[in-house]
Chains A and B, each alone.
Chain A
Amino acid sequence: DTGVSQDPRHKITKRGQNVTFRCDPISEHNRLYWYRQTLGQGPEFLTYFQNEAQLEKSRLLSDRFSAERPKGSFSTLEIQRTEQGDSAMYLCASSTNRGTDTQYFGPGTRLTVL
């Protein structure tokens, strides 16, 4: 039983560049979540999907952020025109909508914007 995986684990980019992160959820999980965590803070919700439908999107998510889950399996999070304030750990989690609603987190992608 493999857990949630994320790729890449680390990304260093220059301000203004676009970056894309990938998340592969636990195989039988139909819900997938993206969170962002900065130093000394708890994770903040960004968006989530049930299958391929994006059901909720935080007001924190500016127009530069877009997320997709085209086939209801893996998801991508793209940040366009990165800013230094985007530097954070981007966490993906998945869960089922049957029984327990526990969210299991992947290892995260640490983004550094120079």
Chain B
Amino acid sequence: QKEVEQNSGPLSVPEGAIASLNCTYSDRVSQSFFWYRQYSGKSPELIMSIYSNGDKEDGRFTAQLNKASQYVSLLIRDSQPSDSATYLCAVKRNTDKLIFGTGTRLQVFP
């Protein structure tokens, strides 16, 4: 079992729709959770961090964390073609290294 699992996609959504990206993790001691966006050929760029159960909103983005079920999700409202990228879920346990999933490729079509 991989430590952090994501569906590789692609997830295709029309412009203006809500994109829902999911991530599950295996280790219950995971403490911090991050979503990064990565455009092709570029480095990861932080979108959201979340540390406690519930929702956290930032503009069009909402991160949701459920530690009991060991999943974290990212919702993108009013999706734009510029949101087309790979979204990486990362978790941190009791050390400082990030453990990444393989990423979900999102395609937003006009």
The chain A residues found within 8 Å of chain B, CB to CB, are 31, 33, 35, 40-45, 48, 50, 55-56, 58, 89, 91, 93, 95, 100-108
- Residues in chain A near residue B72, CB distance under 8 A: none
Query: What is the number of contacts between chain A and chain B, taking CB atoms within 8 Å?
Result: 57
Q: Say whether, besides A42-B88, A100-B49, A101-B32, A56 and B95 are in contact (CB < 8 Å).
A: yes
Pair B43/A106 contact, Cβ less than 8 Å: yes
- Measured CB to CB, the closest approach of chain B to A1, in angstroms, equals 15
B52-110 at interface with A (beta carbon < 8 Å): 88, 90, 92, 95-103
Q: Are B97 and A56 in contact (CB under 8 A)?
A: yes
| Secondary structure call for the B interface | strand
Residues in B with CB closer than 8 Å to A102 are 34, 46, 49
Bound-state Cα–Cα, A71 to B10, Å = 44
Does B42 sit at the interface, judged by CB under 8 A? Answer: yes
Residue of A nearest to B98 (CB): A103
In this complex, what residue of B is CB-closest to A31?
A: B96
Q: Which residue of A lies closest to B36 (CB)?
A: A105
- Chosen A-B contacts, 30 in total, with CB atoms closer than 8 Å, are A33-B97, A35-B98, A40-B8, A42-B100, A42-B103, A43-B98, A45-B97, A48-B96, A55-B96, A56-B95, A56-B96, A56-B97, A58-B97, A89-B43, A91-B43, A93-B98, A101-B32, A102-B34, A102-B46, A103-B34, A103-B46, A103-B98, A104-B46, A105-B36, A105-B43, A105-B44, A105-B45, A107-B42, A108-B42, A108-B43
